[in-house]
Structure 1
Amino acid sequence: MKKRILQQWRTFANESGDNDPVRVGGPSNTLVTDGGLSTVISKPNGAQGEFLSSSLQRWQNRGSNPDRSLIQAFRSIATMSDRLSLVATIKDRANEIYKKVEDLKSIRGRNQDAILAACLYIACRQEDRPRTVKEICSVANGATKKEVGRAQMYIVKQLEVEMGTIHAGDFLRRFCSHLGMTNHAVKAAQEAVQKEEELDIRRNPISVAAAVIYMITQLSDEKKLLRDISLATGVAEGTIWNSYKDLYPYASRLIPSSFATEEDLRNLCTP
């Protein structure tokens, strides 16, 4: 009697009636040797089956997958990406960066969490969706800003990668969203940071974004405390205030007339 053989195929058809490809399982990962595909030994029923299963699993765990540490690193990057709501292209870029660093065989003994966080930080910069080091550290399993900063410099030096230039506008909308600012205020802040680039303000772009937000909120009906802006942006209150002092003389050039009058500007807090 012939036994019937069941095919383990899934069909991925579309409504257009074009090609009807089939495949088994999920997509492969080209960064790992086996494409990210592996065999999982299930647990049979019964005491004898349980003994056999545990024995097989022990053999499976004895280095059967040479990319186990790499896969674990990719999982950590995916977890951090999800916690920061980053798009898939950033996660994939971070994986590529880590794979290149890992191939150098020179990261042994270094802080793994800091290396992974630094890869994600660089990927965000390269994909033109930068995050602050403090934001990255918030999901970096305890790695400090100093450790992530060192890891980032190490990776940049080893791989000779380009990270691109950051601007205050890259962070502004996200900061404004954290503070619950109105669309009118957000638009005014965006115009202000664009005009700021025409000035010779030698401040960190993140500090400039925080200072512009402080200036805009002082001119709106819903004023924000310096402490709240510091929490939303990750910039120290003293740093925001010093950046505000640099921007204050140019307030009339920075703030759109549609948002504040000359009289409003004269009532701004004098640094």
Structure 2
Amino acid sequence: MTDSVRGYTTERARARESEDETESTDGDSEQLRCPECGGQLATDTEHGETVCADCGLVVEEDEIDHGPEWRAFDSKEKDQKSRVGAPTTQMMHDKGLSTNIGWQDKDAYGKTLSSRQREKMQRLRTWNERFRTRDSKERNLKQALGEIDRMASALGLPENVRETASVIYRRALADDLLPGRSIEGVATSALYAAARQAGTPRSLDEIATVSRVEKDEIARTYRYVVRELGLEIQPADPEQYVPRFASELDLSDESERRARDLLKTAKEQGVHSGKSPVGLAAAAIYAAALLTNEKVTQSEVSEVANISEVTIRNRYHELLEAEEQIQVP
């Protein structure tokens, strides 16, 4: 083939391609134009229609909506409603990203598996569990997070406290703070710190009752973790214990409000300095119940607050004295 013939053929091919592109463009533009007035078409997703933006002609109706059936008004609500699996959580050692093989020995149709298939599935579950905890750190984390969840459930702590405690433990593990200390001790101290950070504190005695370590070890490990991780934890406020104590004793709102007033007065007088916040809260609850003519014994308050009756009597007199000093002109 000569150069002139080859050039002619190339020119013909280019011309044909340009014609095809022009035809496809014209076809697309015709499809996006109104058949009546030639105006621009727009899609109304709310009504499932395609309408002309100029004359309002409905070109198509009852279109299929491929979006979700729910509505969301902000990004947070959208993330909550999106069905793409369970959200990640710090309360699981793998953050909930791994899969589990169900314990029901049934197939997709609900039929029971044969003995051979059951044995196979049990082997798969065993290997799946082994792969989920591949090294010592993951096994450590799995045990600690299980302890945190168990203790938080026993103490009635909310989910945000469990998440915070899990993050604190992960930081302690990453900073290599565990050598020489028990897993249960660090997990308990992380939960104690998280409860205080969230404003739902529990006393050391309450923490020790659900923990597998002694109270002294919890306090020692807690101070160490807070110092090494640089956690900012404010001193416990006695008023934070009042709602829980009042709820467990079934006291009225008036008694709870009166107890808060007594504690505020004690702070103004400096009575709270150096005193146990749990003891002050228990004494305020007892004093408020007496002032509002509600029948509550020191023994009942002592049992709820997990503190001795002697402490309640001592703090009770101090609170009333501080109240009298304020009332005296």
In the other structure, the counterpart of 1:93 is 164
1:196 to 262, 266, 273: 266
Could you say which residue in structure 2 is the equivalent of 1:208? 280
Give the superposition deviation at 1:13: 4.4
Q: Does 1:40 align with 2:113?
A: no
**Unmatched 5+ stretches in structure 2:** 1-66, 107-112
Tell me, in whole angstroms, the C-alpha distance in 2 between the residues paired with 1:154 and 1:17.
45
The number of aligned residues is 245
Distance 1:12 1:88 in 2: 29
Q: Distance in 2 between matches of 1:24 and 1:178?
A: 40
Q: CA RMSD, aligned part only?
A: 3.1
Structure-to-structure mapping, 1:42-121, within 5 angstroms? 45-66=113-134, 67-108=138-179, 110-121=181-192
**Alpha-carbon distance between aligned partners in 2 of 1:168 and 1:22, rounded to the nearest angstrom:** 41
CA distance in 1, matches of 2:299, 2:146: 35
Describe the shift of the 1:186–1:58 C-alpha distance in structure 2 as closer, same or farther (beyond 3 A): closer
Within the candidate set 220, 223, 237, 2:292 is matched to 220
CA distance in structure 2 between the partners assigned to 1:51 and 1:114 by the alignment: 39
Equivalent residue for 1:182?
252
1:95, CA displacement in angstroms? 0.8
Q: Secondary structure at the match of 1:138?
A: helix
Counterpart CA distance in 2 for 1:213 and 1:17 is 44
Offset, 1:133: 1.8
Counterpart residue identity of residue 295, structure 2: K
Instruction: Give the direction of change, closer, same or farther, for the CA distance of 1:47–1:154 in structure 2 (3 Å limit).
Output: same
Match of 1:27 in 2: 87
Q: Would the alpha carbon gap of residues 64 and 210 (structure 1) be closer, same or farther in structure 2, given more than 3 Å must change?
A: closer
- Aligned in 2, Cα 1:15/1:60: closer, same or farther, shift over 3 Å? closer
The DSSP-based 3-state class of the residue aligned with 2:187 is: helix
Point out where structure 1 has 5 or more consecutive residues left out of the alignment.
Answer: 1-10, 258-271
Q: Which residue of 2 aligns with 1:229?
A: 301
Other-structure match for 1:133: 204
Rounded Cα–Cα distance in structure 1 between residues aligned with 2:300 and 2:324: 25
Aligned twin of 2:240: 170
Give 1:112's aligned amino acid.
I
AA partner of residue 25 (structure 1): G
Q: 1:106/1:165 Cα in 2 relative to 1: closer, same or farther (>3 Å)?
A: closer
Query: Relative to 1, partners in 2 of residues 1:16 and 1:37: Cα closer, same or farther, differing over 3 Å?
Result: closer
Considering Cα pairs closer than 8 Å and 6+ residues apart, tell me whether 1 or 2 has the greater RCO. Answer: 1
Amino acid aligned to 2:190: C
> Structure 2 residue aligned with 1:124, among 173, 195, 200?
195
When residues 13 and 90 of structure 1 are mapped into structure 2, their CA distance, relative to the original with a 3 A threshold, is farther
CA distance, structure 2, for counterparts of residue 30 and residue 86 of structure 1: 16
Q: Counterpart of 1:62 in 2: which secondary structure? A: helix
Q: How far apart, in 2, do the equivalents of 1:199 and 1:183 lie? A: 25
Range 92-101 or range 220-229, more displaced: 220-229
TM-score (norm 2): 0.64
> What residue identity is the alignment partner of 1:91?
R
Is residue 31–residue 99 contact of structure 1 (8 Å, CA) maintained in 2? no
CA contact (8 A) 2:93 2:141 kept: no
1:25/1:253 CA distance change after superposition, 3 Å: same
